[in-house]
Amino acid sequence: MTTFKKIAIIASGVIIGLSGSAFIADQYFEISKNLDIFSTAYKEVNTYYVDEVEPGKLIRSGIDGMLNSLDPYTNFYSEAEIEDARFLTTGEYGGIGASVAQHGEYVMITEPYDGSPAQREDLRSGDIILEVDGKSTRNKVSADISKMLKGQAGTEITLKIKRDDEIIIKKLKRDDIKLKNVPFYGMIGDDIAYIKQTGFTNDAGKEVHDALEELKKTGKVKGIILDLRGNPGGLLHEAVNIVNCFVDRGQLVVNTRGKVKEWDKEYRTLNAGLDLDLPLAVLTNRGSASASEIVAGTIQDLDRGVIVGQRSFGKGLVQNTRPLTYNTQMKITIAKYYTPSGRCIQALDYTHRNEDGSVGKVPDSLTHEFRTKGGRIVKDGGGIKPDVEVDAQKLSTIAKSLYDKNIIFEYANKYRNTHATIVPTAQFKLTETDWQDFMKFIANKDYQYTTETEQELEQLKAKAEQEKYFDAIKTDYDDLKKKLSHDKKTDLERAKVEIEELLELEITKRYYFQKASVESTFDDDTDLKAALLILHDEARYKSLLKVK
């Protein structure tokens, strides 16, 4: 090599090195410059703004505004919110064990958890919280009351509640509350094991493993249903542990890739699988997200089971909790995850926002095809598409109105307060006497609603007026509107079966809590019925896992 060439190569290397250094320097300068701008702007506002400002609130608004420009999963937690952040990963907190919601000027108990202090002291859904430790709760929001109810295990708390027209004082001792990831499991019929999983906090994998192990001891299991519907996800490693229940050790489940390359990781199963052969159906819907999608996507990619239900949410992002100063924390999106076939199922593109700041879905034209272990085609960019799609169950307009206006909720409270016990969930059915009692209960209730046909008729009217055709069809419109005018009594009879099902669900929850939320829906669950048909048809099950 000539001396000239050596000099040229060295020079080019120096130029490249200098360019890289210059780029890094520019980045640091931009960061330093903008931090200085923010600091001076804050000082000017704090010094000269016409009214007094609260420094903490002002800075928090700035932090929240910055993070809102990224994605909804990157969040800041103040020292006071650390307990909430811990709950997201552990499912544990100190408190009385009950969910609450706004109810006019006060907050009410919506659900006490089975085995919690709230349940042991007979707090009930619908109880209005008037005071906490002698302090009025009037005009306080549910988040404020939730914080008041939480506290160190073993500490006492006194609640003044209103139940119907009765004022009751309840003294409770807080406890360590751990929400179960698997609130229900059991056999459906004689041969199908069913596991309902609602979270991915610590020990989720163990809970699924233990449930399946216990069900298999019956010796009758010929198929498995893992229900991930409405499960928003959680810890990534627990998703790996759950997949490990159904596949053997050493299998790639997911890999993550982000800007910091040393954080790029592969996650593989570590243990022997509990069951590698039984037919498996995983139920998903729009509420199945994140870790739920890792489980469903991996099971699909490995052809280990079939996915049944509706397309999942489409969250392909990974978050990591980072400690900040003064006992604060930040949960920040650090990577995207990819299932074994190589696909990322992220549905929304937060990187390339529209001009108005809104976020669009990844268009079909930009999605890519991937192959499962057996060669079936799957796609990225929009959640997990089920192998067997089932139309989502839809409530009638009148049933939805009764549910949304909390009338069914309120009747279930009334029923609980007048019936000390009921038969087990699987046996409970609303009687005709109960139905007539419900009719009396809603006689003076406001549950106005507009049917879909009426809505479409109004849209037709608006369009006709816009295009100057309405005068010509006004008579026909008035006649049609009159014919469509709904009769509540008739609509109630038409929707009687589904309204009874909603009532049975709410009533059994008052006695059997989360378990009833699952078990009471078995009779009319279309996703579940579709999964059962597949698991009982060996030829169809195998055909779904083959290349078409």
The residues annotated with a catalytic role in the active site are 290, 301, 315
What's the residue count for the chain? 548
Distance between CA atoms of residues 119 and 98, nearest Å: 8
CB–CB of 281/305 below 8 Å? yes
Distance between CA atoms of residues 440 and 118, nearest Å: 31
- Whole-angstrom Cα Rg for the chain: 28
CA angle (318 as vertex; 314, 319 as ends), nearest 5: 125
Distance between CA atoms of residues 277 and 304, nearest Å: 8
Distance between CA atoms of residues 387 and 547, nearest Å: 12
Strand partners, 321: 331
Six-digit token pair at 399?
Answer: 């049933």
In sequence order, the 6+-apart residues with CB closer than 8 A to the CB of 418 are none
Q: Strand 184-188 vs strand 175-178: parallel, antiparallel, or unpaired?
A: unpaired
Distance between CA atoms of residues 359 and 435, nearest Å: 46
Distance between CA atoms of residues 293 and 251, nearest Å: 17
CA angle (521 as vertex; 519, 524 as ends), nearest 5: 140
Distance between CA atoms of residues 374 and 330, nearest Å: 41
Q: Is 148 left (phi over 0), alpha (psi -120 to 50) or beta?
A: alpha
Backbone angles phi, psi at 112, to 5 degrees: -80, 145
Measured between alpha carbons, how far apart are the two ends of the chain, in Å?
59
Residue where the block lists tokens 């069900």: 215
- Identity at 200, one-letter amino acid code: F
| Burial degree of 230 (CB within 10 A; 0-12, 13-18, 19+) | middle
- Identity at 469, one-letter amino acid code: Y
Under DSSP, is residue 19 helix (H, G, I), strand (E, B) or coil?
helix
Q: Which of 97, 91, 148, 143 is nearest to 118 (CA)?
A: 97
Strand partners, 161: 129, 168
Q: Which of 262, 267, 274 is nearest to 207 (CA)?
A: 274
For residue 54, give Cα distances in angstroms to 58, 75, 79, 272, 284: 6, 21, 17, 56, 45
In sequence order, the 6+-apart residues with CB closer than 8 A to the CB of 202 are 89, 90, 91, 92, 235, 238
